[in-house]
Structure 1
């Protein structure tokens, strides 16, 4: 008897919930599945295949059209390496820089800094050099000592490759062949 009462209560609750439900599209008739179209068989004519396919329209986004589009690549700045001449640098500037004959406008000493602080100081220094239109700067990293020797010295070329610093730099050299604890950086300058 108790089970029957519970079942009736459940059914009445269910009817209360269901009575407010309205179909989304009551007037839309149920559609019947459309059979696939029968392929038309035509005589195959040998066609000339053009050597170069015409460029696809902007509206055609099929996979084949995407593959046919020419790939536009932005020229990436060449990787910066210490002591290697960059393309676009004239002979006179390169010789003067590599021989240590260029006047150094400013010097940054990173001795005693942890890597994160050294990076922040270098970033600030490079932006200041750009704002002041300096031509040649020197960054002293030190050779390092201990188990983690020379972390700043090893990280410096990677920092100079960053997208916000690389456009400023023309070339990087060690001012002394025997001492790799500092680098001289030739910067791009604004024309006066």
Structure 2
């Protein structure tokens, strides 16, 4: 069966998707052996002197990023509102600097207490005046993604999701934290 070519739009979508995929298990590949040069017959060096030991490349483990999709159990619980936050913090009404400091402190407390679900209330965005006006985001909501990415606890965040309406809906977020190892 002949394979069809992807359209430019499909190719762009495929490239965007493939950048988000992470392997389940890292496969360690050995470096190809370096070619060994043989000395001229006039030199009498031992063969062990001719090859240099190759030191393994030390690389930092990749940073863990929040998952776009959780397993079906979590997805179902979030959609139905069955998730109950273990801890919550209300940031709306604070300045950006104060909200950032409070979020950082709350994340530290949540990690120390091994909390699984942290509810972060950011406040709902201001209402738009006209029908053709673009939707707006509040200042805290606009910055919270950056704050979470640059936080020292970023590797402990498994996912960030919009809260169920009973917990604040668009004005709140669930931070699903990874368990301690």
Alignment TM-score, normalising by the size of structure 1: 0.53
The answer as to whether partners of 2:122 and 2:141 remain within 8 angstroms in 1 is yes
| Offset of residue 90 of structure 1 | 3.9
Q: Give 1:46's aligned residue.
A: none
Alpha carbons of structure 1 residues 155 and 80: separation in structure 2 relative to 1, 3 Å: farther
Contact 1:80 1:161 in 2 (8 A): no
Contact 1:98–1:173, Cα closer than 8 Å, also in 2: no
Residues 1:176 and 1:90: Cα distance change in structure 2 (over 3 Å): closer
Q: Does 1:106 align with 2:87?
A: yes
The one of 58, 77, 87 aligned to 2:63: 77
Q: TM-score, normalised by structure 2?
A: 0.56
Asked whether the equivalents of residues 106 and 136 of structure 1 are also in contact (C-alpha less than 8 Å), the reply is yes
- Structure 2: runs of 5+ lacking an equivalent: 1-31, 37-50, 128-135
Which consecutive unaligned segments of at least 5 residues does structure 1 have? 1-50, 59-67
Distance between the aligned counterparts of 1:69 and 1:190, measured in 2? 32
**Where does residue 180 of structure 1 map in the other structure?**
170
Q: How many residues align?
A: 126
Shift of 1:174: 0.5
Tell me what 1:39 maps to.
none
In the alignment, which of 135, 138, 142 is matched to residue 154 of structure 1? 142
